[in-house]
Amino acid sequence: MGITGTFLQHNQVFKFDGGKSWSLIVDGIEIDVEYKKAVSYAHQHFAKQLCDKQGQLFGQSIGVAGWLYPGSVVRHVAFTKETRFEEKPQLAFALLYALVACHYFVLRSHTKLEDTQYALVIPEVVDLEIYAQEYWNLGNLDYKDFHVSSLGDAALRFLTCETIIELATPDQVKRCQVMLFGTVIWSKQQRTRIEIAVVEATEIIDFIYKLSRLCFPERKIIKYKNKNLIISDVFTGAIADNLVKGFPWWANLYKIFKNKSLLKLITNDGVYKMIQNSEWNLESQKLFIKACHEALKKIYAKIYGRTKEGQYAQIERENIRILSQLGRCTNAENFRKFIAEFWGRAGQLYILEKHWEELLPLTSGIMDWKVARDLTFIALASYPKSNMVEKQILEISDSNSE
C-alpha cells in the first residue's frame, strides 16, 4: 500500500494482478485490508539502462523519474531535458533499493474518512549493516503500528521505535527525512508530494512524544460505508508536528478545538495527563492553566447550584460558550477582555491571588497573547468531565455553603 501510494503510483511502472483483500484482527475487530498484488514493476529492469554494452556505468548524468525518487518531476514539459531531475548513474543505481529501505505510514483524514495520505520515511543511514538489522527487527511490528495522523507523527514513530534506539551507536544522531503524499486539486489522478521535512529526535522530543502516546489512545476503529477503518489519534499527530517544528507541544492546538468534528475525538484526561507530566519552560504557564481550571470549577459550581436538572448538559453548553468566545479572540485586546470576564465570573481565585506577579506577563500582553490563548484552550480541553466533574463540583458546592 505504502509503495503504491508513493513510489509506484502509475500503472505504466507497476503492473498488478487485480485488487486483493486480506482480513486482519485489530483490537478484536476484523478489518479488511485492500492491496494490489504485484506482477512487475519498473525497478526490475532499470539497471540495464545505467550501463553500456560492456556493462560499465555511463559517465554522464541521467534523468530520474518519480518512481525512482518520489517527488522528482519535470519542471516544464516544453523543456524536459533542461528541467528534469538528474543524477549520476552510481547514485541512480542506489535509488533502485530505496523503496525497500524506506518506511511507509498511512494517514487517514479525521474529517473525510475516504481521504488517505501516505508518509514516506527516508532514514539517515550511518552504518548500512546496523540499519539492515534495524529494518529486519522492525518486521515484528503489525499493520496497526503503521497508522499515524501527521507527518511529524510518522517521523517520530520511526525515530523513537525501541528497535531503532537500541541499535543506535553512542555518537549517532537519529535523523530522517519524511515526505507526505496526498491528492491535490490540480492532480487528482495520483498523489503528489505535498510536504517534506528533515526530523531529528532529541532527548526532550523523544520524551514528550512518547508521553503523548501514553496519554492518548493509539487509535480508534471507525465503521464507515460498511468497512472498519483505523484512525490514529489527532492530538498525538498535532503534538508531533509541533515538536518537529520546534514549537511547544501545546502550540496552535486551538485549531483542533475550534473544529467541532475533531473536538469530539479528544479525551480530556489525556490532555490533563500531558499537562501534569510535561516539563514546562516557564512555571507561569502551568500556573495559568491551573488558574483556568480553578475558574471552571467555580463557574460550574454556580451552574450546579442554580439547577438540579440536566447538570452535565448545562456545563457542556457553558463550555461550548466559553470556547466560542475564546475562538473569536483575534488580537491581544480581545483576549484581555475575554480572560478578565472569564476569571471575573468565577469570583475569587486562590491561584491568581497568590501568583498574580508570575501570571501578569501572560494576562497583560507583555508576552505573546497567542501563548496565553493556546494555554486557555488546553485548560478548557483538559478539564475533567463526566463523573470527575460531578465529584469536583459537589466538593466545591459543599465548601461554598460552609
Beta partners for 193? 181
Instruction: Give a yes or no: residue 8 inside a domain.
Output: no
Residue 78's pLDDT is 58
Longest dimension (CA), the chain: 96
Q: Say what the pTM is.
A: 0.83
Coil vs helix vs strand at 349: coil
Confirm whether 262 is domain-assigned.
no
Is 199 domain-assigned?
yes
Please tell me whether residues 234 and 338 are part of one structural domain: no
- In 3D space, the residue among 85, 79, 52 whose CA is nearest the CA of residue 66 turns out to be 85
Q: Which of 249, 268, 295 is the last residue of a domain?
A: 249
Domain of 340 in residue numbering reads as 276-401
3-state SS, residue 295: helix
Backbone φ, ψ for residue 85 (5° rounding): -85, 130
**Is 227 inside any structural domain?**
yes
Q: Which residues pair with residue 220 across a beta bridge? A: 231
Q: Are residues 244 and 285 in the same domain?
A: no
pLDDT number for residue 395? 45
State residue 188 phi and psi, 5-degree precision.
-85, -10
Per-residue confidence (pLDDT) for residue 401, from 0 to 100: 39
The HSE-up count of residue 207 (CA atoms within 13 Å, CB side) is 9
Map grid coordinates 526530523 to a residue.
199
Residue 36: the pLDDT is: 85
Is 56 within the bounds of a domain? no
- Are residues 111 and 241 both part of a single domain? yes
Packing angle, helices 283-306 and 311-327, rounded to 10: 140
Q: What is the pLDDT of residue 13?
A: 84
Can you read off the three cell numbers belonging to residue 234? 489527532
Residue 197 host element (H or E): strand 187-200
42 part of a folded domain? no
Render each residue's pLDDT in the chain as its tens digit; 402 residues: 788 888 888 888 888 888 888 888 888 898 888 888 888 888 888 888 888 888 888 888 888 888 888 877 666 655 566 667 788 888 888 888 889 899 999 999 888 887 899 999 999 888 888 888 888 888 788 889 999 999 999 999 999 886 665 555 555 658 899 999 998 887 778 888 899 999 998 889 999 999 999 999 888 888 888 889 899 988 899 999 999 999 999 988 888 777 766 666 666 688 888 888 888 878 899 999 999 999 999 998 888 777 665 556 777 788 888 888 988 888 999 999 999 999 999 999 999 999 998 998 888 777 789 999 999 988 988 887 644 444 443 343 444 434
Residues 226 and 113 in one domain: yes
In a domain, 321, yes or no: yes
In a domain, 156, yes or no: yes
Q: Are residues 227 and 130 in the same domain?
A: yes
User: Are 380 and 294 contacting, i.e. CB atoms less than 8 angstroms apart?
Assistant: no
Cell 496519554 sits on residue? 215
Q: What is the pLDDT of residue 241?
A: 96
Of 209, 231, 249, which residue is a domain's last? Answer: 249
Cell numbers standing for residue 243: 515538536
Domain termination residue (choose one: 205, 233, 249)? 249
pLDDT in the model for residue 245: 94
Our count of domains for the chain comes to 2
